[in-house]
Amino acid sequence: MAKNHITTTINGDEYEFLCDTEQTLLDCLRDELFMTGTKEGCASGDCGACNVMLDGQLVCSCLVLGVEADGKSVETIEGMAHGDKLHPLQQKFLELNGLQCGICTPGILIAAKALLDRNPDPTETEIRYWLAGNLCRCTGYDKVVRSVQAAAEEMRKG
């Protein structure tokens, strides 16, 4: 039973791992690399808890095979802070109670960052539709959206 040997860049560092063909990128991040910040909520691309950036594209890592990540660059929640400086999104989510249980939070932060990197001044509607693929059951989304708005404002100030 030969496994696939994958080399990939994650949060700027090179990683190598072995995996079965069926293993998703999500499985590999968690079970082969022990990067458990990315979560499994549904394994079918409906909840967004597994969001990562793959070569600059926001994706569900449960819908990407580990083998597809070979030679590519991945960004996960573990790379969002810079040293001990939290990203403004992370900071605002903390200050404005944009998270309760926190299980959806890594996925939402990755998705929100992808939005703000592309559109630094989104409307409430744009934020809501961008995050439609990120389910949250605790917050009712209100403070999630407000946290994103506050972070966007902070980031626009530079």
Partner 1 sequence: MDDLRYEAPGTLEAAVALLAGEKGEARVMAGGTDVLVLLHGDIIEPDLLVDIKNIPELNGITQENGGWRVGAATNCMDIVDHQEFSAAWPGVVDGVKLIGSIQVKGRASIGGNLANASPGADTVPAIMAAGATATVFGPKGQREVPVEDIAIAPGKTSLAKGEIIVSFFFPPRPPHSGGAYLRFTPRTEMDIAVVGVGIDLTLDDGGTCQAARVVLGAVAARALLVDEAAATLIGTAVDDDALANLAAAASAACRPIDDKRGTKEFRVKVAAVLARRTALIALQRAKQS
Partner 2 sequence: MATDLDDLTYDPNRKLKVVGTNPIKADGVDKVTGRAKFGADTYLPGTLVGKILRSPHAHAIIKSIDISEAEKIPGVKAVVTRDDFPDLKPGPMRDISVICMARDKVFYDGHQVAAVAATSEKAAKAALKVIKVEYVVLPHVIDVMDAIKPDAPILHEDLRTKGLDDAPDKPTNIIQRAEWSMGDVEKGFAEAYLIVEREFDTKPMHQGYIEPQGCMANTTEDGQIELWCCTQAHFVYRSRLAAILEMDISKIRVTVSELGGGFGGKTNFYAEPLAIVLSRKANRPVKMVLTRNEVFRATGPVAGTHSRIKIGVTKDGKFTAAECEAYFQTGPFTGSAFANAPQAIFTRYDLENVRAWGFEVACNRPKVAAFRAPCVPQIVFGVEGVVDEIARKLKMDPIELRLKNAAVEGYKTIYGDTFGPVGFVETLEAAKAHPHYSAPLGPNQGRGIGCGFWFNRGGETTASLNITPDGSVNLMLGNPDVAGSRVSISMMAAEELGISVDKVRPIIGDTSSLGYNHSTVGSRVTFSAGMAIVQSARAAIKVLCQRAAIMWDVPEDHVVFEDGYVRPASTNVGDFEPLSIADIAKKAGTTGGAIAGHAEINAKGAGPGFGVHIVDVEVDKETGGVQVVRYTVVEDAGKAIHPLQVEGQFQGGAVQGLGWALNEEYIYDENGCMENPGFLDYRVPVCSDVPMIDTVIIEVPNPRHPYGLRGVGEVPVVPTLATIANAIGDAIGTRPRSLPMSPPKVLKLIEQVAENGVDEAYVA
Using CB under 8 A as the binding rule, the residues of this chain from 13 to 32 that contact partner 1 are 20-22, 24
115 alpha-carbon distance from chain centroid? 11
C-alpha distance from residue 106 to each of 6, 39, 98, 153 (Å): 24, 8, 12, 21
Using CB under 8 A as the binding rule, the residues of this chain from 91 to 130 that contact partner 2 are 93-97, 99-106, 109, 124-125, 127-129
Closest distance to partner 1 from the beta carbon of 49 (Å): 11
C-alpha distance from residue 90 to each of 16, 76, 95, 139 (Å): 28, 13, 9, 16
Using CB under 8 A as the binding rule, the residues of this chain from 65 to 84 that contact partner 2 are 76-78, 80-81
- C-beta separation of 112 from 148 below 8 A: yes
Any contact of residue 42 with partner 2 (CB under 8 A)? yes
Any contact of residue 123 with partner 1 (CB under 8 A)? no
Range in contact with partner 1 (rule: CB under 8 A) among 31-39, 43-51, 81-89, 90-98: 43-51
Range in contact with partner 2 (rule: CB under 8 A) among 63-71, 115-123, 133-141, 150-158: 133-141
